[in-house]
């Protein structure tokens, strides 16, 4: 692997890590928001 | 729930712009290093990455103290979020450091002072995240985490001294500094820009991660209230 | 006020010592484990005398640290098993005494084990340690105090956790790297005949480490004990 190969590897690994984390984070946020909405909906109904 | 979201994306967009600039400057514009050649360009990623990680861990330290003092869960949310992102950046630092090491010394790993210190730092904060997740309840996890974060942060300078003395007493200090023994001023530019870009990215990730934590807090509250009523 | 604190600290330490004297579990386990470590390293590293001499200081401290780890893991075991943590909190007086009491006990056990491991080490690896004993003792004491200070704090924290046997070493070892490096390097120089003067920077590091965490740990200990 030439110099630029290693440079590409380094920047590539970093990009995958950062973008991957962001992507997963967005997924976790969506999941948590849905969960909270479901909880609040049920809680409201049961409280009547 | 759209309160915070309107502002966070600005940091993300700014980060993308700044990093794109830094990438262009570092990979295309700036000339290769006289000693190391092209691979020195990895430093434009490696160095800002570790500095951002230290920034993240400083935030963990401060918000941990604030949490133990004020007991406001928002401080704890910032602490755990910043730690997670700090671990991410430390991991990137390690990976890029190993790759750079492979091109320079021919081996993926060496017990060089900086690599070793980064590995120790990584382990300390991974331990922090594990401690929190293994605690019997989230309140205990927050407390233990805060204590560990304070201890860990105070430990970092001691680790630095120990590891550096260990290495320099046994072998001559190698030319590890980015760009050789002195950093040419033109090389400082992509370093600074990438640090600014990564800091913006850190801020963006932090805001989103804290939002996730706050949603979880609220869900826990709702469950608690329902438990009492039911 | 100081007298009261010293009294409470001593009460805590003495309780742990009495329990240990009766059951003799901890020190026995520590000694047996240390002997095992020393033997196995000999088999793992082979018969080359010179090679063994080179790594001897590291081996000694591996034996000390793993043994210390074992003892620390048990230091809050009695409290956890009998659910005495709440009682500890109800005890009148400051949390700092509890910490120092526990710490003193842990240091005592670890130093006792070290004192017995050292001659065994000298015999097994054919090293003449007696002329260096005072210097070795100083280094061992500084290292033990540093290791035990963070160890006591983390042992209290991990006592309640799942996977506590793994969590304690995982958390403690990276944090005590300065102690490990300082102790091993200083021991190496001393065993090679160098005096304390040559290792003064390591001694200062060990001393500084001890001082910082002896101050900070009792302060944060109360947050660990809370229920």
Written as six digits, the tokens of C215 are 């101050």
Name the nearest CA neighbour of C9 among C208, C223, C175, C221.
C221
* CB–CB contact B219 A36 (8 Å): yes
What is d(CA A20, CA A28) in angstroms, rounded to the nearest whole number? Answer: 12
* CB–CB contact B91 A17 (8 Å): yes
> 10 Å Cβ neighbour count for C36?
13
Rounded mean pLDDT, C192-217: 92
Written as six digits, the tokens of C152 are 């006591």
User: What predicted TM-score, i.e. pTM, was given to this entire model?
Assistant: 0.90
> 10 Å Cβ neighbour count for C128?
8
Measure the N-to-C terminal CA separation of chain A; round to a whole number of Å. 68
B91-127 confidence digits (pLDDT tens): 999 999 999 999 888 899 988 899 999 999 999 999 9
Rounded mean pLDDT, B35-62: 93
A3-25 confidence digits (pLDDT tens): 888 999 999 999 999 999 999 99
Q: Structural domain boundaries of chain A? A: 13-48
Three-state DSSP class for residue B33: strand
Residue C67 has pLDDT above 80, yes or no: yes
Q: How many residues does chain A have?
A: 48
Burial of B85 (0-12, 13-18, 19+ CB in 10 A): buried
Provide the shortest C-alpha distance from residue C21 to chain B (in Å).
32
Rounded mean pLDDT, B43-58: 96
Nearest CB among A6, A25, A36 relative to B218 is that of: A36
pLDDT band at A48 (very low <50, low <70, confident <90, very high): very low
Longest Cα–Cα distance of chain B, Å, equals 72
Give the per-residue pLDDT at C227.
65
- Nearest residue in chain B measured CA to CA from A33: B215
C154-202 confidence digits (pLDDT tens): 999 998 888 888 999 999 999 999 999 999 999 999 988 888 888 899 9
Give the per-residue pLDDT at A3.
81
Residue C79 has pLDDT above 90, yes or no: no
Distance of CA C48 to the CA centre of its chain: 30
Q: Does B98 touch chain A (CB under 8 A)?
A: no
B15-32 confidence digits (pLDDT tens): 999 999 999 988 888 888
- Nearest residue in chain B measured CA to CA from C207: B158
pLDDT band at A45 (very low <50, low <70, confident <90, very high): low
Rounded mean pLDDT, C123-141: 89
C1-50 confidence digits (pLDDT tens): 777 788 888 888 888 888 777 777 777 888 888 888 888 888 887 777 77
Residue B145 has pLDDT above 60, yes or no: yes
pLDDT band at B171 (very low <50, low <70, confident <90, very high): very low
Provide the shortest C-alpha distance from residue C103 to chain B (in Å).
17
Give the per-residue pLDDT at B115.
93
Give the per-residue pLDDT at B49.
97
Residue C136 has pLDDT above 70, yes or no: yes
pLDDT band at B183 (very low <50, low <70, confident <90, very high): low
Give the per-residue pLDDT at C93.
67
CB C146 within 8 A of CB C216: no
Identify from A2, A4, A18, A47 which residue to disrupt to test chain B contact, counting B C-beta atoms within 10 A and taking the largest count: A18
Physical contact, A and B (3 or more Cβ pairs within 8 A): yes
Rounded mean pLDDT, A34-43: 86
pLDDT band at B182 (very low <50, low <70, confident <90, very high): low
Give the per-residue pLDDT at C47.
77
Residue A44 has pLDDT above 60, yes or no: no
CA distances from C128 to A18, B157, C88 (A): 55, 36, 45
What is d(CA C183, CA B152) in angstroms, rounded to the nearest whole number? Answer: 20
Instruction: Give the DSSP per-residue string, B145-184.
Output: HHHHHHHHHHHHHHHHHHHHHHHHTTSPPPS-STTSSS--
pLDDT band at A43 (very low <50, low <70, confident <90, very high): low
Burial of C112 (0-12, 13-18, 19+ CB in 10 A): middle
What is d(CA B203, CA B196) in angstroms, rounded to the nearest whole number? Answer: 11
Average of per-residue pLDDT values in chain C: 87
Give the per-residue pLDDT at B179.
43
What is d(CA B27, CA C175) in angstroms, rounded to the nearest whole number? Answer: 37
- Which 8-state DSSP code applies to residue B32? P
Physical contact, A and C (3 or more Cβ pairs within 8 A): no
Residue C134 has pLDDT above 80, yes or no: yes
pLDDT band at C92 (very low <50, low <70, confident <90, very high): low
Give the per-residue pLDDT at C185.
93
Written as six digits, the tokens of B55 are 């920034």
Nearest CB among B123, B135, B154 relative to C216 is that of: B154
* CB–CB contact A6 B225 (8 Å): no
What is d(CA B151, CA C50) in angstroms, rounded to the nearest whole number? Answer: 40
Residue C225 has pLDDT above 90, yes or no: no
Instruction: Say how many domains are in chain C.
Output: 1
Q: How many residues does chain B have?
A: 230
Residue B85 has pLDDT above 90, yes or no: yes
Give the per-residue pLDDT at B83.
98
Nearest CB among C154, C217, C223 relative to B146 is that of: C223
Q: How many residues does chain C have?
A: 227
* CB–CB contact B226 A7 (8 Å): no
CA distances from B68 to B129, B212, B218, C72, C73 (A): 17, 21, 20, 26, 26
| Interacting residues of C14 by C-beta distance below 8 A, sequence separation 6+ | none
Average of per-residue pLDDT values in chain A: 87
pLDDT band at C153 (very low <50, low <70, confident <90, very high): very high
Domain coverage including residue C198:
2-225
Q: Does B131 touch chain C (CB under 8 A)?
A: yes
Distance of CA C12 to the CA centre of its chain: 18
**Chain C residue numbers touching B157 (CB-CB < 8 A):** none
Helices (H) and strands (E) in chain A, counts: 1, 0
Name the nearest CA neighbour of B103 among A3, C100, C27.
A3
Give the per-residue pLDDT at C7.
81
CB B143 within 8 A of CB C226: yes
Average of per-residue pLDDT values in chain B: 88
| Interacting residues of C193 by C-beta distance below 8 A, sequence separation 6+ | none
CA distances from C37 to B148, C44, C74, C124, C155 (A): 30, 10, 19, 12, 22
**Chain A residue numbers touching B45 (CB-CB < 8 A):** 10-11, 14
Residue B170 has pLDDT above 50, yes or no: no
């Amino acid at each position: 692997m030439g110099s630029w190969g290693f440079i590409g590897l380094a920047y590539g690994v970093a990009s995958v890590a950062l973008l991957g984390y962001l992507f997963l984070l967005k997924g976790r946020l969506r999941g948590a928001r849905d969960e909270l909405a479901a909880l609040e909906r049920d809680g409201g109904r049961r409280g009547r | 729930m759209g309160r915070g979201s309107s502002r966070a994306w600005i940091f993300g967009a700014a980060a993308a712009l700044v990093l794109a600039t830094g990438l262009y400057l570092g990979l295309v514009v700036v000339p290769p290093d006289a000693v190391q050649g092209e691979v020195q360009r990895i430093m434009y990623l490696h160095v800002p990455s570790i500095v951002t990680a230290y920034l993240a861990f400083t935030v963990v330290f401060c918000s941990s103290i604030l949490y133990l003092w004020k007991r406001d869960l928002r401080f704890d949310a910032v602490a755990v979020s910043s730690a997670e992102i700090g671990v991410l950046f430390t991991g990137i630092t390690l990976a890029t450091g190993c790759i750079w090491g492979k091109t320079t010394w021919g081996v993926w790993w060496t017990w060089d002072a900086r690599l070793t210190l980064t590995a120790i730092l990584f382990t300390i904060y991974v331990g922090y995240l594990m401690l929190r997740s293994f605690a019997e309840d989230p309140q205990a996890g927050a407390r233990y985490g805060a204590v560990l974060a304070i201890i860990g942060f105070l430990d970092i300078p001691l680790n630095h001294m120990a590891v550096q003395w260990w290495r320099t007493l046994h072998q001559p200090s190698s030319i590890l500094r980015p760009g050789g023994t002195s950093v040419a001023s033109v090389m400082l530019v992509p370093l600074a820009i990438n640090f600014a870009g990564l800091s913006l990215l850190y801020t963006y990730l932090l805001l989103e991660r804290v939002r996730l934590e706050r949603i979880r807090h609220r869900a826990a509250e709702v469950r608690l209230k329902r438990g009492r009523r039911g | 006020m100081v007298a009261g604190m010293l009294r409470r600290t001593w009460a805590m330490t003495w309780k742990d010592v009495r329990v240990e004297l009766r059951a003799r579990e901890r020190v026995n386990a520590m000694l047996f484990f240390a002997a095992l470590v020393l033997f196995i390293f000999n088999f793992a590293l082979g018969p080359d005398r010179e090679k063994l001499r080179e790594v001897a200081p590291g081996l000694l401290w591996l034996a000390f640290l793993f043994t210390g780890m074992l003892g620390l893991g048990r230091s809050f075991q009695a409290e956890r098993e009998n659910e005495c943590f709440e009682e500890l909190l109800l005890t009148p007086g400051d949390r700092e005494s509890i910490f120092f009491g526990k710490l003193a006990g842990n240091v005592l056990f670890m130093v006792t084990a070290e004192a017995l491991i050292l001659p065994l080490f000298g015999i097994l690896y054919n090293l003449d340690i007696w002329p260096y004993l005072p210097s070795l003792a100083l280094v061992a004491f500084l290292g033990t105090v540093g290791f035990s200070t963070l160890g006591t704090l983390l042992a209290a924290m991990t006592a309640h956790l799942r996977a506590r046997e793994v969590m304690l070493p995982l958390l403690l070892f990276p944090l005590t790297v300065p102690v490990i490096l300082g102790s091993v390097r200083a021991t190496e120089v001393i065993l090679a005949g160098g005096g304390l003067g040559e290792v003064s920077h390591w001694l200062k590091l060990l001393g500084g480490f001890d001082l910082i965490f002896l101050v900070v740990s009792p302060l944060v200990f109360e947050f660990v004990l809370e229920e």
